[in-house]
Amino acid sequence: MKFKALTAVAALLAAPLAYAGGPDDDTLVVNEEVEMATKVAAPAHMSDTGIDTIMSGWHFRTDETQSLQMDDFENPSMIFVDQAVDYFETVDGTEGKSCASCHESVEEFAGLSATMPKMIDGKLTTMEDLLNSHRAEAMGAEPWKWSSAEMQALVALIGLQSRGMPMNVAIDGDAAPYWEQGKEMYYTRYGQLELSCANCHEENYGNFIRADHLSQGQINGFPTYRLKQAKLISRHNRFRGCIRDTRGETFAEGSDEFRALELYVASRGNGLSVETPAVRQ
């Protein structure tokens, strides 16, 4: 009886331990040529978080999911990125223009996404904001919805131009108050479950919640193809999902609150390579 119980306990203990153990030690190389910085020293502003190494969410996924991001022919995001190449050249709005009317090539945006969101004309501006303001002002076109297929495909295409470059968002100067707001949100325990971003992604990354392997919640791979949803997912959509899962009243995609949170979370990834478009579970 005792022996039997102990055996059962041992077997059960072995099961969770087999898939535990935090991030893996694999190396992310895309298309056998671009090596990504997926584990780097945490930025100085994180000195009081207890995290000294920041890590890509890629390290917390299964080998199968990881491999999808290592080859653009297998990366399901690329279907949408290809569509975005078409959107870039598609005329829309009252001015008879496309993106390509003003921008010779999407390649001119290399490096831009690594610095977003950023302050532009006194406003904290995300890539979605930038696209919609150009659509309105240069093209006379209707704004795209935040998480629409068109919007996220183009955000991904522009992000791809920075792939492999280190994230480097500014948090000082006139961005500072927004960064502080985002930081406060990160540590606020929302909803009936009273969970903050930090409860899971700072205190418990590497641990499993049921079948979910908690990452550091980095956004350097967004928009990311999420296998669960089978499409490109925006940063704000993921924020929304997390707050919803606290049994909380979430904020809207494109809200000032989520802009501030995006700046703060992006800054926790400063130094990691831009992985856009990543693949996650």
Near other proteins by CB under 8 A: residue from 188, 254, 271, 281? 188
**What are the C-alpha distances in Å from 276 to residues 5, 75, 200, 210?**
49, 11, 23, 27
Task: Provide the sign of the torsion angle of the four alpha carbons 169, 170, 176, 177, taken in this order.
Answer: negative
Nearest by Cα to 53 from 269, 278, 276, 213: 269
Which residues lie below 8 Å from residue 155, measured CB to CB, with a gap of 6+?
113, 127, 128, 131, 223, 234
Near other proteins by CB under 8 A: residue from 148, 187, 189, 256? 189
| Residue 163 or 183 with smaller CB distance to other proteins | 183
The residue type of 85 is V
d(CA 109, CA 274): 13
CB of 254 to other proteins, least distance (A): 15
Query: Does 207 help bind other proteins (rule: CB under 8 A)?
Result: yes
Number of residues in contact with other proteins under rule CB under 8 A: 38
Query: Does 215 help bind other proteins (rule: CB under 8 A)?
Result: no
Near other proteins by CB under 8 A: residue from 54, 116, 157, 195? 195
Nearest by Cα to 89 from 160, 133, 149, 154: 154
Query: Does 204 help bind other proteins (rule: CB under 8 A)?
Result: yes
CB of 243 to other proteins, least distance (A): 7
Query: Does 253 help bind other proteins (rule: CB under 8 A)?
Result: no
Query: Does 191 help bind other proteins (rule: CB under 8 A)?
Result: yes
| Residue 120 or 252 with smaller CB distance to other proteins | 252
Q: Is 242 a catalytic residue?
A: yes
CB of 8 to other proteins, least distance (A): 6
Rg of the Cα atoms in the chain: 20
Residues between 223 and 252 that touch other proteins (CB under 8 A): 240, 243-250
Nearest by Cα to 74 from 277, 220, 217: 277
154 contacts 236 by C-beta, under 8 angstroms = no
d(CA 218, CA 57): 6
**What are the C-alpha distances in Å from 198 to residues 66, 178, 208?**
25, 18, 15
Contact mark string toward other proteins, 80..109, x via CB under 8 A: ------------------------------
Residues between 14 and 53 that touch other proteins (CB under 8 A): 15-16, 20
Near other proteins by CB under 8 A: residue from 108, 174, 203, 256? 203
| Residue 5 or 44 with smaller CB distance to other proteins | 5
Which positions are annotated as active-site residues? Answer: 242
Query: Which positions lie near other proteins, rule CB under 8 A?
Result: 1-2, 5, 8-9, 11-13, 15-16, 20, 188-195, 199-200, 203-204, 207-211, 214, 240, 243-250
